[in-house]
Amino acid sequence: MMKEQPLEQAGTPGPSQLDVDTWRILKKALRTGLSDRGLDVGNDEASLMTRFMLEQIEKSGLRVVPLKPTSEMHEAIKMALNQGKRMSVAWVRGRTKQFWRWKAAVDAAPNWRRGYAQDLVAKGDPRPEPELSSGQI
């Protein structure tokens, strides 16, 4: 069986504060929603429930991204057609160019998985999370 690479080694940027903030906002939203309905859950249970919910969302082909693009997303959109691998930009239809821009923006969006992993490190939880590889879903 092939060993999965950690996020930092898989070609994705390391966790940023925006990743951690995104994770904590999502976790707090779920915990507050459950609390409003009379279900009090602890912090660890809320983390597991939030992670499960987000993994199910991703399995269905959806991503959680900010409504307002971040500066990193704007920069990725600008750079999407300037990459060296886009040698045939002049010959590509507008629809393909738009897809490249969209894909770059989504890839640059805050990632709840990096935020979750950073939150575990901040808590001092040393156990590795094999499901957090970037290529799994």
Q: Please give the Cα distance from 130 to 93 (Å, whole number).
A: 39
Residue-level pLDDT at 133: 45
Per-residue DSSP letter, 124: T
pLDDT tens, residue order, the chain (137 aa): 334 334 444 345 566 888 899 999 999 999 999 999 999 998 889 999 999 999 999 999 999 988 898 999 999 988 887 765 555 666 777 788 888 889 999 999 998 998 999 888 888 776 655 454 444 44
> What single string gives the DSSP state of each residue in 18-62?
HHHHHHHHHHHHHHHHHHHTT----HHHHHHHHHHHHHHHHHTT-
pLDDT of amino acid 136: 46
| pLDDT score, position 33 | 93
HEC secondary structure over 76-100: HHHHCCCCCCCCCHHHCCHHHHHHH
Q: What is the pLDDT of residue 97?
A: 81
Max CA pair span of the chain? 58
The C-alpha atoms of residue 29 and residue 6 are separated, in whole angstroms, by: 27
Contact 132, 12 (CB under 8 A): no
pLDDT, position 124: 79
Task: Please state the pTM of the whole predicted model.
Answer: 0.70
